[in-house]
Structure 1
Amino acid sequence: MTKQIDVEIEGRLATVTFNQPETMNALDGFMMKELADIVDQLKDNSSVHVVLFKGAGRAFSAGGNVKAMLDPNGPMKMEDIMVDLSRLALSMYSMPQITIASVHGAAAGLGCSIAIACDVVIAEESSKIAMNFIGIGLVPDGGGHFFLKERVGTARAKQLIWSGKVLDGKSAMQIGLVDEAVADGEAWNTAQQRAQVILNSPTAAMAATKKILHAAGIAELEQVVKLESEAQAAMRSSTDHREGVQAFVEKRKPSFIGQ
């Protein structure tokens, strides 16, 4: 199995690059497991203090690979991927490193969950950021409910999830979904500059603050990923999900019936 994610470690800085540009870095089950494994390894690497996440090509990540969902026994087997996504969310939240997402193009669905799980989110003005699971009759996963609520509060999280609304970088920054909106083509430079500022700061003190602020959230996140796994399993066998995926593949408007 070829690697779909590149990891580069330079001194105290690690860069994780989603490297499936031909699918806009849409994640299938193999890629989700690979990412969870990578984050687990980095979490335990005490010589790395900052981790940058970015996508190759035109997007950060278009989310889960919808076409792969058509095959019930393929690389999107729900039981397996929910285990990996739960592991990923908990590792992202509890890792001692300061994490930075460099977002350009789409950060949609699971791609959005991963981006907003980072401590710092930098997005280009024309980015398309959306928690758009609703379009295929699913609920957010990868801790998406938790990270969205942490950033924008419960009431707004519900509206964003239910509408699947697509936000550009500026709009996302205005509601606190991302931390900084920059000109198109500048996210990666800005993220690298931010990484250097952090590396020149007392990173041990920063990591300690992160641990203190996140301590109470870990039990809640554990509950959220468990509930997401149960809900996703139920939604995957729903009529609306099958219709949503079919409509996506056929490039038409779905006809949902609430079942």
Structure 2
Amino acid sequence: MSDTSLLFTLADGVATLTLNRPDVFNSINKPLALALQQRLRECQADASVRAVVLTGTGRAFCAGQDLAEITGPDAPDVSEIVEEHYNPLIILIRELEKPVIAAVNGVAAGAGANIALACDIVVARESASFIQAFSKIGLVPDSGGTYFLPRLVGMQRASALMLTGDKVSAAEAVQMGMIYKAFADADFEQEVSALARKMAALPTKGLAYTKQLLNSTFAHDMAQQLRAEGDYQLRAGQTADYREGVSAFLEKRQPTFTGQ
């Protein structure tokens, strides 16, 4: 993959996908959207990948859609971009059978904010911020924003944030339950690395089953979710990592999980 708008590294079971268009605040155009989709598919297929980190270079995590791509006489329909670029990306994140960590290094605006919120764990620099910027240009939230944000912060807050386009600091985002943690800027890379390595060392299949249960929780009533938990618990109990976890507990040692 020759396009440098997306950087990729793999170390210690952690695949890091870094948006690399800092001159336009890592806004997303077609090449970057398709590169992200492809890398996520590769992460799913590669058994050596046990956790994924999504982050950005420069002062921004992602400013959303590159507006230069959707202006001019030959510009594609906005709906076409949503259907071909963003919707597949959100589905890939949610269906990836490995934990995805959004490491929000700077401003996350519009689709950039909602891509972060689609990830399993969202952490941010204390100086980062989140903006539902769609109302400022006459568009509606996309990339799953109207799905994830009300579930994270409640309907009233989600409505206000989307209608006003107000900026939310990382500390405010933690307080309202939008994200998991905010780290001091100086400690951000170290904290993200430690979290990612921790996730990569856990039982990967068990994490995938947990993720699938969370994906279904708002679609099920309690009885359905209880049955789903039983089904996935049966699957988890048949994994090598479950056997290792039990053995390590009984032997009073640290487990060594292989993701199998």
Q: TM-score, normalised by structure 2?
A: 0.77
In 1, distance between residues paired with 2:56 and 2:208?
A: 25
Counterpart in 2 of 1:84? 85
In 2, distance between residues paired with 1:218 and 1:14?
A: 30
In 2, distance between residues paired with 1:72 and 1:120?
A: 40
Counterpart in 2 of 1:29? 30
Contact 2:82/2:142 (<8 A) preserved: no
What does 1:88-167 correspond to in 2, within 5 Å? 88-167=89-168
C-alpha displacement of 1:32:
1.7
Question: 1:15 is matched by which residue type in structure 2?
Answer: T
Matched, 1:213 2:214: yes
C-alpha displacement of 1:187:
2.5
Matched, 1:58 2:59: yes
Contact 1:5/1:31 (<8 A) preserved: yes
Contact 1:17/1:56 (<8 A) preserved: yes
Matched, 1:14 2:15: yes
1:198-250 CA distance string (max 9 Å, x none)? 2232232222111122135689xxxxxxxxxxxxxxxxxxxxxxxxxxxxxxx
Superposition RMSD in Å: 2.1
Deviates more, 1:4-13 or 1:107-116: 4-13
Q: Report the 3-state secondary structure (helix = DSSP H, G, I; strand = E; otherwise coil) of the residue aligned with 1:186.
A: helix
Counterpart in 2 of 1:179? 180
Q: 1:195 to 1:92 in 2, by over 3 A?
A: same
1:177-199 CA distance string (max 9 Å, x none)? 11001112332221111012222
C-alpha displacement of 1:138:
0.7
C-alpha displacement of 1:175:
0.5
Question: 1:146 is matched by which residue type in structure 2?
Answer: Y
In 2, distance between residues paired with 1:218 and 1:73?
A: 40
Q: Give structure 1 stretches of 5+ with no counterpart.
A: 220-259
Q: 1:191 to 1:119 in 2, by over 3 A?
A: same
Question: 1:142 is matched by which residue type in structure 2?
Answer: S
Q: 1:91 to 1:216 in 2, by over 3 A?
A: farther
Contact 1:54/1:101 (<8 A) preserved: yes
C-alpha displacement of 1:173:
0.5
Q: Report the 3-state secondary structure (helix = DSSP H, G, I; strand = E; otherwise coil) of the residue aligned with 2:179.
A: coil
Larger relative contact order, structure 1 or 2 (CA cutoff 8 Å, min sep 6):
1
Contact 1:16/1:52 (<8 A) preserved: yes
Contact 2:82/2:143 (<8 A) preserved: no
Over the matched positions of the two proteins, sequence identity in percent amounts to 31
Counterpart in 1 of 2:45? 44
C-alpha displacement of 1:114:
1.1
Q: Report the 3-state secondary structure (helix = DSSP H, G, I; strand = E; otherwise coil) of the residue aligned with 1:167.
A: strand
Q: 1:212 to 1:53 in 2, by over 3 A?
A: same
In 2, distance between residues paired with 1:170 and 1:132?
A: 19
* Pair member with larger Rg: 2
Contact 1:101/1:191 (<8 A) preserved: no
Question: 2:210 is matched by which residue type in structure 1?
Answer: T
C-alpha displacement of 1:80:
4.0
Deviates more, 1:148-157 or 1:124-133: 148-157
1:121-167 CA distance string (max 9 Å, x none)? 11111212111111011111111211212321233211111111101
Contact 1:36/1:85 (<8 A) preserved: no
